[in-house]
Amino acid sequence: MNKPFKPYPFTAKKYAARVPALEKGVDVKRHDVTIVGGGPVGLAVALGLANHGVRSVLIEADDSVCHGSRAICISRRSLEIIERLGALDGFLKTGLPWTGGRSFYRDTEVLHFTMPQDENQKLPPMVNLAQYHIEQFLLDAAEKRAELIDIRWQTRVKSIDARDDGATLQLTTPDGDYALETEWVVASDGGRSTIREALGLQLKGTSYEGRYVIVDIELESERPTERLAYFDPSSNPGSTVLVHKQPDNVWRIDYQLRDGEDADEAVKPDNVIPRVQSLLDMMGETGAWSPIWITIYKANALTLERYRHRRVMFAGDAAHLVPIFGVRGANSGIDDADNIAWKLALVVKGLASDTLLDSYSDERVAATHENLSYGTKSTEFMAPPSFAFDLMRTAVLSLAARHPEVRSLINPRQTSAITYATSPLNIADRDVFASGPVPGAVLAEYPVTIVEAGHGREAHLTDLAGPSFTALCFTDDGALPAAFATLAHALRASGLPFRAVPLSAHLHPRAQGVHAWDHTGRIFERYDARPGTVYLLRPDGHVLGRWRDAQPDDIEAAIARALSASTD
Amino acid sequence: MNDAELDAVYTRLCKTMTQLGEAKASLFLARFALLAIGEMNDPDASLKLIVEASDGIAD
């Protein structure tokens, strides 16, 4: 069977290489931060730094955003981060939102799962879009901040001299080679990280034998956006097939190879096209289709032991490889970027000790272990690593239609926001809270009305958290207590990004300044808050601490402790 | 038992069986079934599970 390939319905703009002003072969400027790798993670780090007014140089080996079949699922948590980076609109306009999925065993539906979604949410639990879209929207936002983000396309790192006081990168471009001096390096240069290799570091963990063929096709179909999993389908007996819808009539199909199947043979169009055709026939998809891209995938569960190595911080696939099942790859990288950006910005600005960067490693390594524990379970189900996992999976699937108690074992355990429960930055609760996000957690979303000069607008709780430390002050009258206003003034005068926002259970049309009205009453209740309660957020939106009757000293001490973070 | 606990037990069962090897897997599962029957201590429930476990296997 033969079918002509089509290109992805996307044309990437090409960028020329550019060599900066040099003196004796060295960039005349010494840079604060150099980001190696301009994928989603590197772009997110650059945008996060820019939010704090910190300049960065972004080194990208290619001449455009990426190509091929890569990440396609962006989580609600990632969307929250992307909103703070100023790039959300494109994601929501182009991305396909979805809330759940279905799994089939042979011809029977055995699981219909949904991700957390209710009327309190601002953003969908997941959107699908291609990685070239993801990178393009982040790049668009970065290009608007050209005074802070200096992108150097077609530039490769030849070597790095990493020292206690900075690093020197030897770079090569089609227009000539040069050296660059930098205080800090963020290595977001992907799974085959040049920087990681140059520093002699190795990822450790488990590589799985099960292989999947990943095919992107173009197909017109009205089928809704959801995750479809077919176990032992009649179209491809003995195999497992995943189907995801992407924008612009692109569909992602992943199917498992049988043991002993030759990978080089398996990715040949002559072998792929009939399998896709037979899958589409089974699904009842009768529209014309064309292959776009074929590749092969093996699941890895690997990580560096630490993500900070003196002046070099690793992020995204350069730091860890998590299995695709559960969509934690790009999403965990965006979380890395969100975590490192504010910490590095405050260190560069001289507002925090460089030990704050150790907490980046502590928090994100712990997050990776959580991601890997879920990702490993998904992988053991999707690509059984032994006869026993295979046998037990058959038992689960064949029982699931009539025995709901086993269905949770089929659930793909999709990515969800991670709590930094053991973070050295957390302020342990002094007071007892019956509910609400614990220190290290992200905000639980609820609607609010933001009231300013008597006018209200509908918003959500996460809208109150900017790229700053934010004190959510629960009040009676919608006015910030004078002592907190004084504190906010003093902290900002010292250069620290800090905001204090009063929340009130009631509308106060005449209140001075801005306040958030908990018009549903749910926030006071679900955060176990009363007037006087404060939840203090970090610039990445995680709760740093919370107090029943907060004093300004509590807030000041919590921030001071974070900025001088020591991990003892 | 919550989902995470079921997950953990399931994974332990799979890993134990993997270590024993395919040749001993049937004996392992048979012993597990006997111990579960003893633990349940309920003949009617056990007989019901025998029916449900065999149901549909022949297909």
Q: Which residues of A touch B11 (CB under 8 A)?
A: 377, 380
How high is the ipTM of this complex?
0.97
**Which whole number is the average pLDDT over A506-528?**
92
> In CATH, what is the architecture of A22-96+127-203+301-380?
3-Layer(bba) Sandwich (3.50)
Chain A contact for B49, CB < 8 A? no
pLDDT of residue A470 exceeding 70: yes
* Domain ranges for chain A: 22-96+127-203+301-380, 447-563
Separation of alpha carbons A313 and A301, rounded Å: 20
Chain A contact for B10, CB < 8 A? yes
Strands A308-309 and A312-314: antiparallel
Q: Which tokens hold the place of A418?
A: 């991670």
The H-or-E segment that residue A557 falls in is helix A552-563
CB-hemisphere CA count at 13 Å for A457? 6
Q: What is the pLDDT of residues A542-563, one digit of tens each?
A: 999 999 999 999 999 999 999 9
Helix (H, G, I), strand (E, B) or coil at A106: coil
pLDDT of residue A567 exceeding 50: no
Q: How far is CA A403 from the centre of its chain?
A: 35
**Which whole number is the average pLDDT over A462-473?**
95
Q: Which of B7, B14, B56 sits opposite A398 (nearest CB)?
A: B56
Query: Considering chain A, what percentage of its residues have pLDDT values greater than 90?
Result: 89
Q: What is the pLDDT of residues A177-222, one digit of tens each?
A: 999 999 999 999 999 999 999 999 999 999 988 899 999 999 999 9
Closest Cα in chain B, distance from residue A368 (Å): 18
* DSSP bridge pairs for A58: A35, A151
pLDDT of residue A414 exceeding 90: no
Strands A56-59 and A31-36: parallel
* DSSP bridge pairs for A54: none
Instruction: Output the pLDDT for position A283.
Output: 96
pLDDT of residue A508 exceeding 90: no
* Domain ranges for chain B: 3-54
Instruction: Output the pLDDT for position A46.
Output: 98
pLDDT of residue A166 exceeding 70: yes
Separation of alpha carbons A288 and A218, rounded Å: 8
Looking at chain B, how many residues does it have?
59
Beta-carbon separation of A403 and B55 below 8 A: no
One-letter identity of residue A154 = Q
pLDDT of residue A264 exceeding 50: yes
One-letter identity of residue A267 = V
Instruction: Output the pLDDT for position A169.
Output: 98
Q: Which of B13, B52, B56 sits opposite A392 (nearest CB)?
A: B13
Beta-carbon separation of B7 and A409 below 8 A: yes
Chain A contact for B5, CB < 8 A? no
Query: Considering chain A, what percentage of its residues have pLDDT values greater than 70?
Result: 99
Chain A contact for B56, CB < 8 A? yes
Separation of alpha carbons A129 and A72, rounded Å: 5
Q: Which residues of B touch A391 (CB under 8 A)?
A: 17, 25
Q: Which of A377, A406, A408 sits opposite B11 (nearest CB)?
A: A377
Chain A contact for B51, CB < 8 A? no
When computed from its CA atoms, the radius of gyration of chain A, rounded to whole angstroms, is 25
Closest CA in chain A for residue B56: A398
One-letter identity of residue A554 = D
- Average pLDDT over chain A, rounded to an integer: 95
Integer angstrom CA distances of residue A269 from A235, A242, A295: 17, 19, 11
Which chain B residues in 29-48 lie under 8 Å from chain A, judged by CB atoms?
none
Is A298 within 8 Å of A308 (Cβ atoms)? no
If pLDDT is split at 50, 70 and 90, which confidence band does A136 have? very high
If pLDDT is split at 50, 70 and 90, which confidence band does A416 have? confident
Instruction: Output the pLDDT for position A326.
Output: 83
The distance in angstroms from the start CA to the end CA of chain B is: 31
Beta-carbon separation of A389 and B18 below 8 A: yes
Q: Which of B6, B17, B25 sits opposite A409 (nearest CB)?
A: B6
Beta-carbon separation of B18 and A377 below 8 A: no
Q: What is the pLDDT of residues A283-314, one digit of tens each?
A: 999 999 999 999 999 899 999 999 999 999 99
**Which whole number is the average pLDDT over A239-266?**
93
Pairs of residues, one from chain A and one from chain B, whose beta carbons lie less than 8 Å apart? 42
One-letter identity of residue A277 = Q
Chain B contact for A380, CB < 8 A? yes
Beta-carbon separation of B7 and A377 below 8 A: yes
Residue A258 has what DSSP assignment?
A: P
Q: What is the pLDDT of residues B46-59, one digit of tens each?
A: 999 999 999 988 76
Domain at A447-563: CATH code:
3.40.30.120
Q: Which residue has the higher pLDDT, A568 or A433?
A: A433
Instruction: Output the pLDDT for position A509.
Output: 83
Q: Which residues of B touch A385 (CB under 8 A)?
A: 18
Instruction: Output the pLDDT for position A568.
Output: 43
The distance in angstroms from the start CA to the end CA of chain A is: 64
CB-hemisphere CA count at 13 Å for A317? 18
Q: Which residues of B touch A409 (CB under 8 A)?
A: 6-7, 10
Instruction: Output the pLDDT for position A384.
Output: 92
- Average pLDDT over chain B, rounded to an integer: 94
Strands A126-128 and A227-231: unpaired
If pLDDT is split at 50, 70 and 90, which confidence band does A566 have? low
Instruction: Output the pLDDT for position A69.
Output: 84
If pLDDT is split at 50, 70 and 90, which confidence band does A512 have? confident
Q: Which tokens hold the place of A196?
A: 């990681």
**Quick one: chain B helix, strand, coil %, rounded to 5?**
85, 0, 15
Closest CA in chain A for residue B25: A388
pLDDT of residue A43 exceeding 60: yes
Select from A318, A315, A310 the least CA-distant residue to A354: A310
If pLDDT is split at 50, 70 and 90, which confidence band does A115 have? confident
If pLDDT is split at 50, 70 and 90, which confidence band does A565 have? low
pLDDT of residue B40 exceeding 60: yes
**Which whole number is the average pLDDT over A140-169?**
98
Beta-carbon separation of A408 and B13 below 8 A: no
